[in-house]
Amino acid sequence: MNDQVSLNNQVLDALLVDYAAGALSQPLEILIETHLAMNPESAKTMQMLMQLGGILLEECEPVSLSEDALDKVMSAIAEDEEPLQKVTHSENSFLPRPISDYIPDLSCTKSWRSAGIGIARHDVKFSQSDMRATIYRIQPSRAVPSHSHTGSEITLVLAGGFSDESGTFGPGDIAVQEAGEVHKPVADADGECIVFAVNEGDIRLAGPFGRVFSLLVK
């Protein structure tokens, strides 16, 4: 097992634990829920984590609550509820939920912004998170320009697949890039690649055309 595969597994394990604990940001929560819908092995791991959490909870000593505890919890839930950017379309039915609720009509070019030749993007806004969440559509065999990130990037493959310096990724796979790492994803030749990427920082394009290309994706 190479270092990148080990890193991916470590990050995925940490994300699953945080998801079970309810500690993930909204974009990563949706990413993990979608991954669980696509990956039976991770779904089994999540079931075990939930069962373990239930056992630990049963072993805890009961704690008395104030009389208004329930009212406070319900009030907090009401404050957290917000209309998310759900845009369900029948054309997206082949994509897993919940991410399919946030992807615009695949057949409508006006719903997507150009991110270069053969690459389109759709930004998903989450008011409760500073993370950048983006859905990319990459045409077959198209290469994304070499770039790095100022923070970590977690990418879930929704359809198709891609390869970069760290390996090959298909539907349901999660790819992890640490801050500062440079990579150049290339979509598989047998179909369009669709990914959901969550970034903690900004994208920094590398190479002589980086500055020019940056102007196109802003």
CA 178 from centre of chain: 15
User: For the segment 88-103, what is each residue's pLDDT rounded down to a tens digit?
Assistant: 455 677 888 889 888 8
Domains of the chain are: 3-62 (1.10.10.1320), 90-217 (2.60.120.10)
Task: Give the separation between CA 154 and CA 181, rounded to whole angstroms.
Answer: 13
Mean pLDDT across the stretch 66-92?
51
For 130-168, letters b (16+ CB in 10 Å) and e give: ebbbbbbbbeeebbbbbbbbebbbbbbbbbbbbbbebee
| Residue 55 pLDDT level (bands cut at 50, 70, 90) | very low
Task: Give the separation between CA 33 and CA 39, rounded to whole angstroms.
Answer: 10
Specify the range with the lowest mean pLDDT, choosing from 14-28, 88-102, 112-126, 189-203: 88-102
The percentage of the chain sitting over the pLDDT mark of 90, rounded to a whole number, equals 50
Q: Look at residue 116 and give its three-state secondary structure.
A: coil
On the CB side of 132, how many CA atoms lie within 13 Å of its CA? 16
8 A C-beta contact, residue 153 and residue 179: no
Regarding pTM above 0.85, the answer is no
Cis previous bond, 98, omega within 30 = yes
